[in-house]
Structure 1
Amino acid sequence: MLSQVLAALKSLRDWLSLPGPAEVPIHVARRIDLQLQRNDILVGWVQAGLVVAFALLYAVSIGLMQAHSFLPFPSEIIALANGMVYGPFWGTVITWIGAMLGAASTFALVRVLGRPFAYRFLSARHRDQIAVWSLDQGVHTLLIARLIPLIAFNLINYGAALTDISWWTFLWATGLGILPLTILLNVLGDGMLSMPAWAWLLLFALAALIWLLTRGAWRRGNRREDFNGPRR
């Protein structure tokens, strides 16, 4: 009778996978190792999820800057938010990439579709004048316009695409021209809640200096053009 009870208990133990007394240390070690493996798998999934989440977040930030070239909303808010979320360096990189993608997209769209349509309504003389202006003043005008925050970003994209400014000239002048304001906005976004008063004054003074320099360069260029006339 006793042997039958012991046999039944042994069968129940085997069915439940319960260890015997001598096997307890081994069983516990296996359980701990299995739990650690499960934890490693969980940690791996969490890390992969974080990578995907941050990649999507970066893509959304870049996409918003690109969408700004087609939709009327202020890109300065996005740049400030990028500075707050990603910091001044990566915020600047993300904002700059998004702005460049948007500028290139609108330039390509207007250059391929809009310019041929617009040129149908221009005489040969006016087209020649646009070509001469693009050669003489196009690069300087584009670069200075990019440095002045008061001139709409999208308006510059559309206007440049209607001229004879080359793709390469448009890209490097845009990339260089938007960089100071992009850095400034992301620095402001990063320290918006913690920057001391003197830092705000310094940034505003720097912005005013850039504006004065670009305004002076613009006026000198116009006076030189009025005095000499366009080159033939």
Structure 2
Amino acid sequence: MKSFKGRKKILLLGIILIFILAYFFVPTVNETLNHIFSLLSSMDVDSVITYIRSFGPWAALISFLLMILQSIAAPIPAFLITFANASVFGWWQGAILSWTSAMAGAALCFFIAKILGRDAVLKLTNKLALEQIDVFFERYGKNTVLICRLLPFVSFDIVSYAAGLTSMNFWPFFIATGIGQLPATIIYSYVGGMLTGGARLFVTGLLILFALSAAAFLLKAIYNNKHSKEEKQ
């Protein structure tokens, strides 16, 4: 069993190494990824829509890959891509695409954490964000995944990584993710499909503000929790 896990670790590290080498030594790959990160970091839904549409018949595949890339490496809210999918493909088709691609991204994050461990996860995320979700796992155990998926302000990607660091098996994680993620995906897709221009920009800004406010609240809760433990000691 250990030997099998060791082989999986070597294989995953090999794949990651190939991507890193491609990024630094293949100009096309470097330019494409830099453009994508810049695009997602701009928080401009219209620019994401234009980018996805530019691929014509390959647009759905590109969107799928964008969601997975966002899951692994970019600390960008996934609802930007969900909004874009709803505009490009229609709200219910976009919802299906966003849900399936988010599930694939969640599964990949889970296995990266499970195989490579906490040190690797910290390089892809950050210690503070991971500690936020650790608090949830300490309090709610395996129900954490479902609870966090139902809370739109909790980082989708961090939960996937954190779950992979626990003793939780894949299928309970995957099922909880699928059930918990579905309501938010439907709502974001419907909103993204119905709203345009300034209205969509306003809603996007509200969601980002809400996420930042919730993150500040969680940080305060973590600080208070640590302070309480130190006093007890």
TM-score by length of 1: 0.51
Give per-residue Cα distances to partners, 1:32-56, cap 9 Å, x unaligned. xxxxxxxxxxxxxxxxxxxx942x1
Q: Mind listing any 5+ residue stretches in structure 2 that lack a counterpart?
A: 1-54, 122-133, 208-233
Match of 2:84 among 64, 81, 86: 81
CA distance in 1, matches of 2:169, 2:110: 10
- RMSD, matched Cα: 3.2
CA shift, 1:170, in A, is 0.6
The equivalent of 2:162 in structure 1 is 159
Q: Is 2:86–2:95's contact at 8 Å kept on the other side of the alignment? A: yes
Instruction: For residue 179 of structure 1, give the secondary structure of its aligned residue in structure 2.
Output: helix
Report 1:85-124 matches (<5 A).
85-114=88-117
SS in structure 1 at match of 2:72: coil
Give 1:111-190 correspondences, 5 Å limit. 111-114=114-117, 137-190=140-193
Cα separation, 2, equivalents of 1:117 and 1:71: 12
Trace 1:52-67 onto structure 2 (pairs within 5 A): 53-54=56-57, 56-67=58-69
The runs of 5 or more residues in structure 1 that have no matched partner are 1-51, 119-129, 205-232
% identity of equivalent residues: 34
Aligned length: 133
CA distance in 1, matches of 2:171, 2:140: 16
> When the two structures are superposed, what TM-score results if normalisation uses the length of structure 2?
0.51
One-letter amino acid matched to 2:182: L
Structure-2 separation of matches of 1:116 and 1:192: 41
Structure 2: distance between partners of 1:149 and 1:116: 26
* 3-state SS, counterpart of residue 68 of structure 2: helix
Letter in structure 2 aligned against 1:141: T
